[in-house]
Amino acid sequence: MTKYAAPLDDMRFALYDVLGADALFARLPGCETANRELIDAVLEEAGKFSEQVLAPLNQVGDQEGCHHDKATSSVTTPQGFKEAFKQYVEGGWMGLNAPESYGGQDLPETIGVAFKEMIAAANVAWGTYPLLSSGATEALTQHGEEWQRQAFMKPIVAGRWTGTMCLTEPHCGTDLGLLKTRAEPAPDGSYRISGTKIFISAGEHDLAENIVHLVLARLPDAPAGSRGISMFLVPKFKVARDGSMGARNGVACGSIEHKMGVKGSATCVMNFDGAEGYLIGQPHKGLMAMFTMMNAARLGVGLQGLGLIERAWQNSLAYARERLQMRALSGPKFPDKPADPIIVHPDVRRMLLTQKAFAEGGRAMALYAATLADIFLRSGDAGERERAEQQLSFLIPIIKGVLTEAAIECTYDALQIFGGHGYIAEWGMEQLARDARITTIYEGTTQIQALDLLGRKVMQLKGVGLEQFLGVIGAFCKEHAGQAALAEFIGPLAEHAQAWGALTQSIGQRAMQNAEEVGAAAVDYLFYSGYVTLAYFWARSVAAADASTRSAGFKQAKRATARFYFARILPRTQTHAAAIEAGAASLLDLPSELFG
């Protein structure tokens, strides 16, 4: 069985030394009480819950999975999941970031993001249940009517109910303009929802007394395509406007999927048969509410990738220190042992350092994005809020796309470090590798993240988020220019940032002649962007460590890992740049009928 220890020390370093989160909270309205003492107390308790309650259930959930009773359309979660959810609710965790007026604690999003990483590392399958609920509360906060927040959001925040997103249909995945689910107005102001949704995480389970589905559907007068989509609240048990719960609604789980990984998470086919629901927001404007949920979910899935990287890293490191095999090429490092531990071998160190670099750099990146969310939600300066939203919107596809792809790389490296034992179930590495695979798919595949980044955030929005973030990098490089201790990082970072801008312009110029250039470049552009972004956070981490009161060993470890990142991972940008500059021709020259 794999082990997990919440990386609280590195989280505190990222929060306080790198990002200055405590100083940020002190100036944001409503966050003033979130000082270091409070943050540390929350992180300590979150770590205990993750380590002691969730982590031991990770392998249980994988081995047992969920069970669907066709006769009752009910789903039973793995042994221990329901009790863990009960403890989660009793601990007040469900309302950690929710507004106080609806029963929450109203703590900064940044603290919630740190906890979500712990949950994902401890038990990514269990974590899907509260993750979807937080997306529902965000959609209700920003787009719901007050009575809807009172009737639906309060029970979700209290943990009595949970939420889902119901978007995908059997014939359409990402292309929501093709969806067919219908919504017919009823005389009492509600609607009757009919259709089938698939791949619905946490669509049915035994953890809570009611489940609130946020469903995309079409009204009778809806225009064609994505402009004709509306969003509806559709509960498992009917809910009156006063919040009282009534009879079973016309929504049922038709089946659950048998999956490669995250088997403790119920992935459901949901059938809506004239189910009673309520419109959220304006008619035909459902995509606005959907993107609120989707952005929250995409950040959450990026954190799943980060959590899996962290757990793979912790177990790989422990194994590499204990496993004896061969001698170091330069001679025995542990002559008193029959062989050296495999951590002495260069390629094992390469894999370990890759995991460490993605885990710690990815953590700083994700927490930075969370601070932008707090600024956007709470700052009294409209200009600051706008800039934070632009940067956050730009970074979300990078965080989701790159950290989940890195999770596949790092869990694969864990398998390699464990050797044959990595392939054996009881060691737990193969589960991490299987669980990681879905993170690159749900809430938008890597290709969708890439198109969102390059096609929408850069080309359609004229690169405003990129410009903002390049400004952040430029200001950092300018601040530390001339500092000999940081020269090995500042110079390459500044060069890559400049090249990032030039590469973007080159794609834009070619796309004016051939729109296919955007699709041809998108995935390589996503990785290029991610590697440069992580380089910034590694350079910033070294600067923060040098300026801190941390131990000499801590500072040395940060610098050495940053050195490895700049020497061994950042050069991957050259391959991606070459592929981008090659253009679309090699992808499009072969006619479809000649593929085979």
Which of 223-232, 237-246, 315-324 is the least confident region?
A: 223-232
What confidence score (pLDDT) does residue 283 get? 93
Q: What are phi and psi of 437, to 5 degrees?
A: -60, -40
The CA–CA distances, whole Å, from 70 to 7, 349, 516 equal 42, 50, 46
Name the DSSP letter for residue 419.
Answer: G
pLDDT score at 294: 82
Quote the pLDDT of residue 225: 86
Q: In the prediction, which pLDDT does 368 show?
A: 98
C-alpha closest to that of 349 among 327, 317, 375: 317
- Residue 290 pLDDT: 81
- The pLDDT of residue 359 is above 90: yes
- Two tokens, residue 428: 């737990």
| Selection from 440, 441, 442, 420 nearest residue 429 by Cα | 420
Cα 141 to Cα 331: distance, rounded to the nearest angstrom: 63
Read off the pLDDT band of 287 (50, 70, 90): confident
| pLDDT of residue 382 exceeding 80 | yes
Categorize the per-residue pLDDT at 134 as very low, low, confident or very high, splitting at 50, 70 and 90.
confident
**Which residues are annotated as catalytic?**
443
CB 239 within 8 A of CB 246: yes
As given in the structure block, the two tokens for residue 53 are 């309650």
Widest CA span in the chain:
84
> Average pLDDT in the 585-596 region?
93
Number of H helices, E strands in the chain: 19, 11
Give 452-465 as a DSSP string: IIIIIIIIITTTHH
Radius of gyration (C-alpha) of the chain in whole angstroms: 24
pLDDT at 175 over 80: no
Is pLDDT at 1 greater than 80 in this prediction?
no
Q: Which residues pair with 239 in a beta bridge?
A: 245
SS (H, E, C) 154-173: HHHHHCCEEEEEECCECCEC
Q: Which two tokens stand for residue 68?
A: 């669907």
| Residue 324: DSSP 8-state | B
Domains 8-67+75-143 and 160-285 share a fold: no
Report d(CA 217, CA 195) in Å as an integer: 8
Domain ranges of the chain: 8-67+75-143, 160-285, 462-585
Taking the C-alpha atoms of residue 306 and residue 327, their distance in angstroms, rounded to an integer, is 33
CA distance 209 to 235: 11
In tens, the pLDDT along 397-442 reads 999 999 999 999 999 999 999 999 999 999 999 999 999 999 999 9
143: closest CA among 301, 248, 298, 296?
A: 296
User: Secondary structure of the chain: what % helix, strand, coil (to 5)?
Assistant: 65, 10, 25
* Residues 563-583, mean pLDDT to the nearest whole number: 98
CA dist 215 and 448 (Å) reads 21
Q: What is the pLDDT of residue 135?
A: 83
Determine the pLDDT at residue 174.
75
State how beta strands 161-166 and 210-217 pair. Answer: parallel
Fold (topology level) of 8-67+75-143: Butyryl-Coa Dehydrogenase, subunit A; domain 1 (1.10.540)
Q: Is the dihedral of CA 352, 357, 363, 366 positive or negative?
A: negative
Report the amino acid identity of residue 47. G
Q: How far are the Cα atoms of 25, 175, 306, 492, 537 from residue 540, in angstroms, in the given order?
A: 20, 39, 19, 13, 5
Share of the chain above pLDDT 70, in %: 100
pLDDT for 34-83, tens place per residue? 999 999 999 999 999 999 999 999 999 999 999 999 999 999 999 999 99
Residue 488 half-sphere exposure toward CB, CA atoms < 13 A: 12
The pTM score is 0.97
Query: Whole-angstrom Cα distance, residue 500 to residue 477?
Result: 15
pLDDT of residue 293: 80
Q: What is the pLDDT of residue 79?
A: 98
Report, as an integer, the average pLDDT of 232-252. 97
Q: Are 534 and 361 in contact (CB under 8 A)?
A: yes
For position 369, what pLDDT does the model report? 98
| SS3 of residue 200 by DSSP | strand
User: What are 70-121's pLDDT values in tens digits?
Assistant: 999 999 999 999 999 999 999 999 999 999 999 999 999 999 999 999 999 9
pLDDT at position 132 is 87
- What is the rounded distance in angstroms from the CA atom of residue 145 to the CA atom of residue 278? 10
Residue 66's nearest CA partner among 261, 289, 275 is 261
Q: Is 259 left (phi over 0), alpha (psi -120 to 50) or beta?
A: beta
Burial of 458 per CB tally in 10 Å (0-12, 13-18, 19+):
buried
| 390: confidence class by pLDDT, cuts 50, 70, 90 | very high
CATH 2.40.110.20 fits 160-285, yes or no: yes
What pLDDT, on a 0 to 100 scale, did the predictor assign at position 171?
86
The structure tokens listed for 255 are 């089946």
H or E stretch at 275:
strand 267-280
Q: Which residue has the tokens 């220190």?
A: 321
Res 172 pLDDT > 90: no
